[in-house]
Amino acid sequence: MKTIGFIGLGIMGKPMARNLLKAGYSLVVYDLIPGPMEELAKLGAARAESPQEVAQKTSYLITMLPNSPEVKQVILGPNGVIEGAAPGSTVIDMSSISPVASKEVGNALEGKGIKFLDAPVSGGEPGAINATLSIMVGGALAVFEDCRDLLSAMGKSVVRVGDVGSGNVTKLANQIIVALNIAAMSEALVLGTKAGVDPALIYNAIRGGLAGSNVLEAKAMRVMQGNFEPGFKIDLHVKDLNNAVEAARAVGAPLFLTGQVLEILKCLQVEGKGGKDHSAILQFYERLAAVEVRKTED
């Protein structure tokens, strides 16, 4: 079984690394925060002192980091992965970042003879814990096939969508659809509540038709209970939509609705709600309509 490097042991990275251990892989881990490394060390992982050391000790290395600057720093910066990885080794960045940054990182690694995949995920913390993530992969077909089993230990769906950068383009498409779905749900439930109809009855009436969606199933009942505890934080969705807008500008694609929802999310950040679940988009509409969307029927 391969020895895998894993850098970035946050909300998503730590359970993903744990699932690799459960699948029988040996791990070498690194994070700026010692606690998660200590937890994984108790499960059998080896700890490293830098990204460079992780790369020196492994031929397959995964990064799971907040955004493009962190990925570039960890992989290309001083004491970074590129300084320790041997030619022929493989780096898989599973962070959700700009496709432009993915291509920059991939090109730099390729120049050193190091293979690269960008493989962002969807499914949030529950998917990371339960190894049910959807993984969208960009990179050469041969590299993807070589890493398919490794990725399958962390997700239920592993799909190659094209060359390097395509994984993050696909993730941004996913995030656009999720954000716009939440905004549409919010507008609809606020309209219904303002008009005097129980939003729970609206939900039950429409969920089986064309308006039904995974977003509606995952979020409607939670918001009607006033539950905005984060499954995916507004701060993170702002990051993703900013990356979507950056990518759209680079290729000349219009994102009118995305831009509007991004501004709503930024307003919620200003109100101190960046740590709430992205379904708190509902609260933006509630405030404007002076109404609270709450379930009244059992």
Q: Which residues carry out catalysis?
A: 171
What is the distance between the terminal CA atoms of the chain, rounded to a whole angstrom?
52
Q: Which of 224, 238, 244 has its CA nearest to residue 293?
A: 224
C-alpha of 29 from chain center:
20
Strands 60-63 and 46-47, by their bridges, are: unpaired
**Could you count the other beta carbons within 10 Å of the beta carbon of residue 227?**
12
Distance of alpha carbon 55 from alpha carbon 89, whole angstroms: 9
**Cα→Cα distances 135→49, 217, 221, Å:** 28, 21, 27
Q: Is the dihedral of CA 68, 63, 8, 15 positive or negative?
A: positive
Distance of alpha carbon 131 from alpha carbon 141, whole angstroms: 23
Q: Cβ(291)–Cβ(194) under 8 Å?
A: yes
Q: Cβ(118)–Cβ(169) under 8 Å?
A: no
